[in-house]
Amino acid sequence: MPRARLRDLGLSTGFLPTGRWNAITDVPGVAVGYATVIRDEPAIIRSGVTAIWPRREGIWSDAVFAGVHSFNGNGEMTGLAWLAEQGILAAPIGITNTFSVGCVRDAISAFAIREGAPQMFHLPVAAETYDGWLSRSETFPITAEHVFAALDSAASGPLAEGNVGGGTGMICHEFKGGTGTASRIATSAGENFTVGALVQANYGAREMLRVDGVPVGREIGPSLVPSHRPPARDTGSIIVILATDAPLLPIQCQRLARRAATGLAWVGGFGANGSGDIFLAFSTANHVREGEPCTDVRMLAPDRMTPLFQAAAEATEEAILNALTGAETMTGRDGCIAHALPLDALASVMRRYRPV
Amino acid sequence: MPRARLRDLGLSTGFLPTGRWNAITDVPGVAVGYATVIRDEPAIIRSGVTAIWPRREGIWSDAVFAGVHSFNGNGEMTGLAWLAEQGILAAPIGITNTFSVGCVRDAISAFAIREGAPQMFHLPVAAETYDGWLSRSETFPITAEHVFAALDSAASGPLAEGNVGGGTGMICHEFKGGTGTASRIATSAGENFTVGALVQANYGAREMLRVDGVPVGREIGPSLVPSHRPPARDTGSIIVILATDAPLLPIQCQRLARRAATGLAWVGGFGANGSGDIFLAFSTANHVREGEPCTDVRMLAPDRMTPLFQAAAEATEEAILNALTGAETMTGRDGCIAHALPLDALASVMRRYRPV
Amino acid sequence: MPRARLRDLGLSTGFLPTGRWNAITDVPGVAVGYATVIRDEPAIIRSGVTAIWPRREGIWSDAVFAGVHSFNGNGEMTGLAWLAEQGILAAPIGITNTFSVGCVRDAISAFAIREGAPQMFHLPVAAETYDGWLSRSETFPITAEHVFAALDSAASGPLAEGNVGGGTGMICHEFKGGTGTASRIATSAGENFTVGALVQANYGAREMLRVDGVPVGREIGPSLVPSHRPPARDTGSIIVILATDAPLLPIQCQRLARRAATGLAWVGGFGANGSGDIFLAFSTANHVREGEPCTDVRMLAPDRMTPLFQAAAEATEEAILNALTGAETMTGRDGCIAHALPLDALASVMRRYRPV
Amino acid sequence: MPRARLRDLGLSTGFLPTGRWNAITDVPGVAVGYATVIRDEPAIIRSGVTAIWPRREGIWSDAVFAGVHSFNGNGEMTGLAWLAEQGILAAPIGITNTFSVGCVRDAISAFAIREGAPQMFHLPVAAETYDGWLSRSETFPITAEHVFAALDSAASGPLAEGNVGGGTGMICHEFKGGTGTASRIATSAGENFTVGALVQANYGAREMLRVDGVPVGREIGPSLVPSHRPPARDTGSIIVILATDAPLLPIQCQRLARRAATGLAWVGGFGANGSGDIFLAFSTANHVREGEPCTDVRMLAPDRMTPLFQAAAEATEEAILNALTGAETMTGRDGCIAHALPLDALASVMRRYRPV
């Protein structure tokens, strides 16, 4: 059975409608690019870089508002002090493996210089999850060129999922994990807003995995499909990037980011100790322009936020599931195999729990 | 069908075993008391006070470590600055209605003075959820005497649930809500630790309600049981108090508190805008004694925390469900009726989703 | 020598010009009222309530943005979860003694109801500092009527300082402390903005006190003027309220609030353990109106904030000094005397340190 | 007049005695190393790396407690999510220029691997301040080898100050800035504890500079010594690392870190918008050992913290002043000259403000 998105399997979760591509790129202006590094020499590498542009055009001098929530901070996201202070994002975001997060961070600065960004001073956001069970990432395989390639290749429209970009070597609920995306349309204040999620999913115990409430992970136990068990089962992480075109202030982006914890919980993640579960939300609706002394901005009323919160939780949930249904079985270092979530078994379990 | 606890209905959620009473009082030393105020004159009141003693004996001079997470801070919990600064709790906690949280806060100070607490300076923790759909709480019905009564009556052992104490007038997932409790045993570092939860549950949309993943709320729609719909459906709150005997530092209590968001998500709460979802966790294992210049404390290793996180999420989930199955239908102000979750319908829905 | 403001003594600090009244009320719309409770029967009380209206008119349905910094959270300020979540202030602020903060909090709710505030749900901000060395505040002397009186009497224009309102029984740098205020004009983005501070100053060791860098406290040692020494010298607190008409978002108000720590440092406060040093800043420039689904707001560019930061630090510094020069010697419970900072000695020390 | 430390000039600030070397290395086990990169080809570089080992021996498997305060987060410090979550530091800290912080971060990981650290998963702390007025740091001059050299050369004992390590190209109060250090002995709970500070000082307006309260910067204006004026005068930063052997928990380290803002204020820093003022404090007294399921730790009583707070503020203040008196005039890119604080003028101003 070929890999597919959750909805292509006739499955879905949540209440709200999706955007056109059911992807973070449904938020106008958002673009995503990947550099995927899969090679066996000189060391086995299963890694990469994911680049997310809040605006593909002009971000260096036309910033967006943003906010962060660290649900379990056993991970790295650079730029946190700046985001907490200013709530502003003026560069693309990079996601990669744990050992390369510094490289990606500096390379985004270098890219800004290359592009002639008007400001010399950058505090880029680069985040990571750990792929060391499949990849010899301690050899520091990611270079600035990979980062430039991911940034340069970014596009809107449908996105590849699973073993791509920073998500290449990830493991999730003891199945092969990776990159996933989804989106939701939320109606509030008489307008339709889009909330999109992109995740790099690398966390979780198999028996906790649920799909629309059905205990899929308990049913597809290790006797059915072998588990790739890391030394400490709770080691892993998930990075969630949320984008919206709803007009949110920085403090409201922080609120939106917190709802990734809800979507994560619905799939079965609870922030195990070793998990770096860090969530960033940005809103493209406002424009903070370099050199402008005072800016007119729009704010959705706080009491109109609820549909957006639901959308953020639902999009996160489905993005993780898309990473699982999209990722293919991968063999990595030391002969380790991370098995994909078997789609036929998934379908069969979902049928068994269908209400009578 | 008489009201019951979830497990008395043959239902359960999660993986971990419960403590003896499946209550926050399974944590040795923790005691809970209620003052329940139900009266129709001079105004219809459906309110009360819940008192939680981290240690029934000696708390004034033998403090516990504690930490807080505000998942959606549309509510009040006094003492937040102190808890963030010191991570120490040296007084019982009170929970009540929104209008009375100041009264409860000051009354805990007064109680400390009455008991001869050695310190004159207190920063008590009092929290609230809003019961104004059933109760004329804007008449400020709670007095210091109610607080003293709740504090004085506190005991260990099994606890009343549903329409008691601060939870008396609450509504949850558009059914009658209230006070609930549960506990879990988590094995870590070769020891068994107890994590107990007590909730005052007053949040949520009906269609989001899930029991062990089954969409109970969607199935028991308003056509089956009328909904008590507040003017803004997302107005409500949940306070979660977590207790454990695992030796946690303040920073670890903060981490534990964050997992209440996971248990809340499993039931169907995502922190709607109007919801004051504030969680406090304390650990009784260490003793911070008044006047002691230096204290020896024990710390569970950070990488042994995962079972406790799971326990906190599971206990929170089941405590909410116990509030729902325990609460009885209540008529309040202006003839408003909050219908209890019908236990027969619940059983029937759960059967329909049983795997074939 | 009669009590006076710092500038009436020919002294000043900082660089920026003051507003018309050199008071928080220089920010248009801000009003301040006091209830001062000084009595000897049935118990000696030296206490009160200070009320600060961010807008004297319409605040219940026309909120301001706000943010908080807890420099040393050994104190109470209610409403913290709400302010962190929403960054909105829709009610007057109250400041009082430690034991009465709950009373003041609930009374602001009651006042809102009395005034017919359109929203039933309030999360008022009430803060405190400890006056128990001069006042038998453990008898809970403050009532809702005191709060109403402070709220009702609020006015713009010049303000009383020293032993008034919530600051009545305070001690600062081991001299008589109390309420103080000051303001600064900051030019940024081609506009003049006002930043006003109001403090309730009740902290500090004498030898740390500096006026414009001159070690006044070290020079006026206890041999010159007796010290009122609390049992633990570091017990005390300072609440700082900052107001501005610059268009700041909530996250920018949080930034402004942090600069109160700078002004505090300049006078000699470093957040001793027992000190509840909690700072709140609000901006009146934007209007968050009840029921409005989307709001147009103005934001001063982040990189134009520096003059406001300096203004906040300078206004805080001078407000504390005004509390010290304005407060008169007070005799309280158990015959305790808190001596005022002697203005002639102050003048003499300042002259001795004048550059040659 | 040769460059000197503040105390060598007969000047001092504060009340508490210094440690033996008046340096962060007075805390037993702490070691500091530098790599200084000064070259004119192929581009003018004035930069470097400072490495701080919390314990020179065993840090990879014997962690210390730590906490952070971001006073003005316009800067980068990696590892923030981890420090907020766990309060644990298990690697040396690096400080460098803005463009190289990612490189330093990854290089610390690489160094850990080289040293055979037992854990593969690292979240190193690397921080930065901007040296782009003197140095072409946008050419990314720092390499992993520089980081290894700084780490390898680390030693206890007296430290070089001024134009060394990460501080090589810094500017402070419009004089030449750089690296500085100082320490204090605080007596609490019957014991003597050491608090040491190391700063990388790169912030501030000249007219704000004060030495022991004396307005040195106002007196030594640009007419006396030319100012190196960056395009925006408020652009800069200060990183403060505080070390202590007092037994502090993570939450107490966070408290200590906040007092760097006090010391900074005393010198004249108020966190201008462009300044990344991020402070980290660690305590070497406890040992969090890899693989230990439960750890016995000591905690200084919260109410014994005040002397440590004063020590942290005083050490920070003097460390900044030592950076200023230690740094020599430097010519950098585009012929820019950053003039050292003239020591004879400093002495003369200090004499003029001596009390009569």
For A213-265, what is each residue's pLDDT tens digit?
A: 999 999 999 888 888 765 545 668 999 999 999 999 999 999 999 999 999 99
D52, pLDDT greater than 70: yes
CA-to-CA dists, residue D285 to C23, D248, D258, D259, D300, angstroms: 47, 7, 20, 20, 10
Answer for the pair C346, C216: CB distance below 8 angstroms, yes or no: yes
pLDDT at res. B243: 99
* A-to-D residue pairs, Cβ atoms closer than 8 angstroms: 127
Confidence class for position D230, pLDDT limits 50, 70, 90 = low
Asked if D102 lies within 8 A of A126 by C-beta distance, the reply is: yes
Percent of chain B beyond pLDDT 90?
A: 92
Residue type, position D250, single letter: P
Kindly list the residues from chain D whose CB atom is less than 8 angstroms away from the CB atom of residue B189: 293-294
Confidence class for position D262, pLDDT limits 50, 70, 90 = very high
Kindly list the residues from chain C whose CB atom is less than 8 angstroms away from the CB atom of residue A295: 298-299, 301
Q: What is the pLDDT of residues C81-138, one digit of tens each?
A: 999 999 999 999 999 999 999 999 999 999 999 998 877 667 999 999 999 999 999 9
B237 is catalytic: yes
CA-to-CA dists, residue C124 to B243, C260, D209, angstroms: 28, 22, 40
Task: Give start and end residues of each alpha helix (H) in B17-98.
Answer: 80-86
Task: Give the contacts of A42 (CB within 8 A, at least 6 positions apart).
Answer: A139
Q: What angle do CA A55, A77, D166 make, to 5 degrees?
A: 105
| CB nearest to B273's CB, from A210, A264, A302 | A302
Q: Is the peptide bond before B222 cis (omega within 30 degrees of 0)?
A: no
SS3 content of chain B, % helix, strand, coil (to 5): 30, 30, 40
Q: What is the pLDDT of residues C160-217, one digit of tens each?
A: 999 999 999 999 999 999 999 999 999 998 999 999 999 999 999 999 999 999 999 9
Inter-axis angle of helices A306-326 and A250-258, nearest 10: 50
D232, pLDDT greater than 60: no
Task: Give the contacts of B188 (CB within 8 A, at least 6 positions apart).
Answer: B246, B300, B304, B305, B306, B307, B308, D293
pLDDT at res. B230: 60
Q: What is the pLDDT of residues D271-299, one digit of tens each?
A: 999 999 999 999 999 999 999 999 999 99
D333, pLDDT greater than 80: yes
- Helices (H), strands (E): how many in chain C? 8, 15
C231, pLDDT greater than 60: no
* A-to-C residue pairs, Cβ atoms closer than 8 angstroms: 79
- Out of B156, B227, B237, B283, the active site residue is B237
Asked if D309 lies within 8 A of C232 by C-beta distance, the reply is: no
- Out of D137, D245, D277, D283, the active site residue is D277
C271, pLDDT greater than 90: yes
pLDDT at res. C236: 84
| CB nearest to C303's CB, from D72, D273, D353 | D273
Asked if B294 lies within 8 A of D300 by C-beta distance, the reply is: yes
| Chain C neighbors (3+ CB pairs < 8 Å) | A, B, D
Asked if B86 lies within 8 A of D190 by C-beta distance, the reply is: no
Q: Closest Cα of chain A to C86: distance in Å? A: 7
Inter-axis angle of helices B306-326 and B260-267, nearest 10: 40
| Chain B neighbors (3+ CB pairs < 8 Å) | A, C, D
Confidence class for position C44, pLDDT limits 50, 70, 90 = very high
Asked if D356 lies within 8 A of C355 by C-beta distance, the reply is: no
Name the residue among C20, C43, C9, C44 with its Cα closest to residue C212: C9
- Out of B137, B156, B275, B283, the active site residue is B275
C232, pLDDT greater than 80: no
Asked if C98 lies within 8 A of B121 by C-beta distance, the reply is: yes
Asked if D297 lies within 8 A of B300 by C-beta distance, the reply is: no
Confidence class for position B226, pLDDT limits 50, 70, 90 = confident
Mean pLDDT of chain B: 95
For residues B261 and B278, give the distance between their C-alpha atoms in angstroms, rounded to a whole number. 9
Percent of chain D beyond pLDDT 90?
A: 92
Q: Closest Cα of chain C to B18: distance in Å? A: 32
Q: Closest Cα of chain C to D287: distance in Å? A: 25
D8 is catalytic: no
For residues B180 and B164, give the distance between their C-alpha atoms in angstroms, rounded to a whole number. 9
Inter-axis angle of helices D250-258 and B250-258, nearest 10: 100
C233, pLDDT greater than 60: no
ipTM above 0.85, yes or no: yes
pLDDT at res. A40: 97
For A312-348, give the DSSP string.
HHHHHHHHHHHHHHHPPPEE-GGG-EEPPPPHHHHHH
- Per-residue tens of pLDDT for chain A, all 356 residues: 789 999 999 999 999 999 999 999 999 999 999 999 999 999 999 999 999 999 999 999 999 999 999 999 999 999 999 999 999 999 999 999 999 999 999 999 999 999 988 776 679 999 999 999 999 999 999 999 999 999 999 999 999 999 999 999 999 999 999 999 999 999 998 999 999 999 999 999 999 999 999 999 999 998 888 887 655 456 689 999 999 999 999 999 999 999 999 999 999 999 999 999 999 999 999 999 999 999 999 999 999 999 999 999 999 999 999 999 999 999 999 999 999 999 999 999 999 999 98
Specify the CATH architecture of the domain D6-291+306-353.
4-Layer Sandwich (3.60)
pLDDT at res. C7: 98
Strands B175-176 and B171-172: antiparallel
Mean pLDDT of chain D: 95
